[in-house]
């Protein structure tokens, strides 16, 4: 981790730890050791402790008497709720951004879609995940609304980063193409169409998540398990790998969203 000056405030350490969680350096269930963080950042334990308490209040970490701080594992219902909230936040972001969004920003978003498709074609889900996050972040930052950006950013560990479900048979290129209607609506400068496209994007992702992991959703040992077959009691499919830094890569036609 990069060094941080000794006079850093606890909110800066909070931001640093949150980014580490978003990057997957602290996966779900992992411990965040105060003394280790303080040593790595070159600060005392006090601001680290304060930062962890703030993250606990946000629901990002949990602190227990004997284990200390660890990254929370959200339940399925919480993840589904977060998809809906994030859809509304980004729909608002589209409306706000269109008041002053430049062609240069729209071109940036196009480049990010192209990079997602290239990564998907190469079978590089990790890179596709990273670029996906950059696409949504750029839309939010284009609003210039720091309050919206802050609220959106703190939702990410629940909505996006804690767990990635690469379901069997997923079409990664289709996942990248789910972003095209959003950009098309932005280029038309149509705020209602842009908002509807964003809602559809998360609707497809949430529906795929709910269908694939219908009843037996769990997170254990670094993997997510789908619902079990009612007759055999066995998993309905191979357990997909868990990776950080992405939305659920949803199946669906390339015209969806």
62 and 141 together in one domain: no
Q: How many helices (H) and strands (E) does the chain have?
A: 10, 5
Report whether pLDDT(140) > 50: yes
Poorest-confidence range of 69-83, 87-101, 153-167?
153-167
Instruction: Indicate which CATH number applies to the domain containing 56.
Output: 1.10.10.10
The residue with tokens 């209607």 is 181
Name which of 153, 181, 169, 139 is nearest 250 in CA terms.
169
| Domain membership flag for residue 243 | no
Name which of 66, 42, 39, 38 is nearest 52 in CA terms.
38
Three-state secondary structure call for residue 146: helix
Q: How many domains, in total, are found in the chain?
A: 2
Please give the mean pLDDT across all residues of the chain.
76
| Domain membership flag for residue 251 | no
Report whether pLDDT(11) > 60: yes
Contact predicate 194/98, CB 8 Å: yes
Segment 29-50 mean pLDDT: 93
219 and 108 together in one domain: yes
191 and 126 together in one domain: yes
CA distance 203 to 117: 21
| Domain membership flag for residue 200 | yes
14 and 104 together in one domain: no
26 and 87 together in one domain: no
Poorest-confidence range of 131-140, 142-151, 153-162?
153-162
184 and 84 together in one domain: yes
Q: Domain boundary at 53, 71, 89, which?
A: 71
128 and 107 together in one domain: yes
Segment 166-180 mean pLDDT: 75
| Domain membership flag for residue 129 | yes
Instruction: Say what percent of the chain tops pLDDT 70.
Output: 72
| Domain membership flag for residue 83 | yes
Computed on alpha carbons and rounded to an integer, the radius of gyration of the chain in Å comes to 19
Segment 39-53 mean pLDDT: 92
Q: What's the pLDDT band for 156 if we cut at 50, 70, 90? A: confident
| Domain membership flag for residue 230 | no
119 and 170 together in one domain: yes
Backbone angles phi, psi at 91, to 5 degrees: -65, -40
179 and 202 together in one domain: yes
Instruction: Indicate which CATH number applies to the domain containing 193.
Output: 1.20.120.530
Q: Domain boundary at 43, 71, 99, which?
A: 71
23 and 114 together in one domain: no
Poorest-confidence range of 127-131, 195-199, 200-204?
127-131
| Domain membership flag for residue 248 | no
Poorest-confidence range of 27-41, 108-122, 222-236?
222-236
Half-sphere exposure of 238 (CA within 13 A, CB side): 8
Q: Domain boundary at 71, 89, 121, which?
A: 71
Angle between helices 125-141 and 76-97 (to 10 degrees): 50
Q: What's the pLDDT band for 68 if we cut at 50, 70, 90? A: very high
| Domain membership flag for residue 174 | yes
Residues in the chain: 257
138 and 45 together in one domain: no
99 and 207 together in one domain: yes
Backbone angles phi, psi at 75, to 5 degrees: -85, 170
**Which range marks the domain in which residue 157 is found?**
76-225
3-state SS of 38-102 is HHHHCCCHHHHHHHHHHHHHCCCEEEECCCEEEECCCCHHHHHHHHHHHHHHHHHHHHHHCCCCC
Q: What's the pLDDT band for 212 if we cut at 50, 70, 90? A: low
CA distance 51 to 41: 13
């Amino acid at each position: 981790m990069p060094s941080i000056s000794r006079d850093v405030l606890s909110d800066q350490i909070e931001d640093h730890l949150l980014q580490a969680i978003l990057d997957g350096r602290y996966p779900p269930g992992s411990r965040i050791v105060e003394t280790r963080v303080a040593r790595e950042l070159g600060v005392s334990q006090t601001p680290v402790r304060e930062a962890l308490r703030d993250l606990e209040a946000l629901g990002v970490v949990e602190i227990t008497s004997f284990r200390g701080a660890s990254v929370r594992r959200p339940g399925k219902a919480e993840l589904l709720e977060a998809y809906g909230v994030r859809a509304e936040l980004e729909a608002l972001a589209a409306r706000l951004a269109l008041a002053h969004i430049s062609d240069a920003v729209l071109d940036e978003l196009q480049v990010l879609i192209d990079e997602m498709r290239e990564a998907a074609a190469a079978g590089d889900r990790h890179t596709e995940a990273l670029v996906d996050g950059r696409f949504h972040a750029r839309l939010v930052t284009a609003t210039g609304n720091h309050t919206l950006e802050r609220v959106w950013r703190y939702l990410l560990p629940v909505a996006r980063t804690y767990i990635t479900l690469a379901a069997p048979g997923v079409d990664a290129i289709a996942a990248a193409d789910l972003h095209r209607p959003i950009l098309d609506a932005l280029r038309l400068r149509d705020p209602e169409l842009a908002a509807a496209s964003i809602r559809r994007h998360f609707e497809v992702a949430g529906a795929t998540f709910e269908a694939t992991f219908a009843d037996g959703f769990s997170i254990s040992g670094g993997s997510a398990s789908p619902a079990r077959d009612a007759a055999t009691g066995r998993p309905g499919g191979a357990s997909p790998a868990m990776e950080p830094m992405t939305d659920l890569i949803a199946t669906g036609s390339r015209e969806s969203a």
